[in-house]
Amino acid sequence: MKVVVPMAEGFEEIEFVTIVDILRRADVEVVTASLGKRRGIDADTEIGPVEGSHRIRVVPDTVIDDIDPEEFDAVVLPGGLPGFVNLSEDEQVIDLVRRMDGAGKYVAAICGGPSVLIRAGVLEGRRATINPAGRWALKDDQYSDDRVVISGKLITSKAVGTAMEFALRLVGEFAGEERMRKLAGEILAECEV
């Protein structure tokens, strides 16, 4: 299983780090990708850090320009303000989400991230959740008040407070229920998994 986690300026640090950390603990290959381009003109140049919504800077593994959706099994979007807005305004992210969904791969988002899925047009006919501030963006027949919602290969969650549960549910989907339960026990997670 190989997962890409795009990150934009203003990403929610707790959501991002929880997703990446928990998936890597479960031996899921995770590649983080910033929206910026490489500094310089060749592929070996440095990738600059991305600043989160609380001014924590993180250096991604690569840039979105270097991501080939064919090489990945899932895309997971963190929220954060203005991070999710920046993701939703990036045509490469929208294309990535559409291509992953169209290929029957996992598409997941937390907090404001589901609004990117709305813009990409991949939520039609599916149940989802979103940060309460974005509740208006989902139709009544789409919206679920659950903390984490799994609708086929679409996985959504509400906010920072649900990040651990969301990440563990991702492990359940990507690496199996047994691995999820074992990992939850190892880290003493008290969330319902």
Whether the predicted pLDDT of 20 surpasses 70: yes
Domain extent, residue 112, equals: 2-186
Residue 121 lies in a domain: yes
List the beta bridge partners of residue 77: 109
Q: How many domains does the chain have?
A: 1
Whether the predicted pLDDT of 43 surpasses 60: no
Confidence class for position 40, pLDDT limits 50, 70, 90:
low
pLDDT tens readout for residues 114-152: 999 999 999 988 999 999 999 999 988 899 999 999 999
Residue 193 lies in a domain: no
Residue 83 lies in a domain: yes
Ramachandran sector of residue 16 (left: φ over 0; alpha: ψ -120 to 50; beta: rest): alpha
pLDDT tens readout for residues 44-73: 566 889 999 999 999 999 999 999 999 999
Residue 37 lies in a domain: yes
∠ CA 179-12-89, nearest 5°, is: 110
**Residue 124 is encoded by which pair of tokens?**
């039609």
The predicted pLDDT at position 45 comes to 61
Distance CA 136, CA 127 (A): 14
- Average of per-residue pLDDT values in the chain: 93
Phi, psi of 97 (to 5 degrees): -60, -45
**Residue 60 is encoded by which pair of tokens?**
């991604």
Residue 192 lies in a domain: no
Q: Cα Rg for the chain, rounded, in angstroms?
A: 15
191 is catalytic: no
Residue 30 lies in a domain: yes
Residue 86 lies in a domain: yes
pLDDT tens readout for residues 164-179: 999 999 999 999 999 9
Whether the predicted pLDDT of 74 surpasses 90: yes
The CATH number linked to 43 is: 3.40.50.880
Q: Is the dihedral of CA 121, 94, 50, 26 positive or negative?
A: positive
Active-site position among 23, 47, 96, 111:
111
Q: What is the mean pLDDT of the segment spanning 2-21?
A: 98
Residue 146 lies in a domain: yes
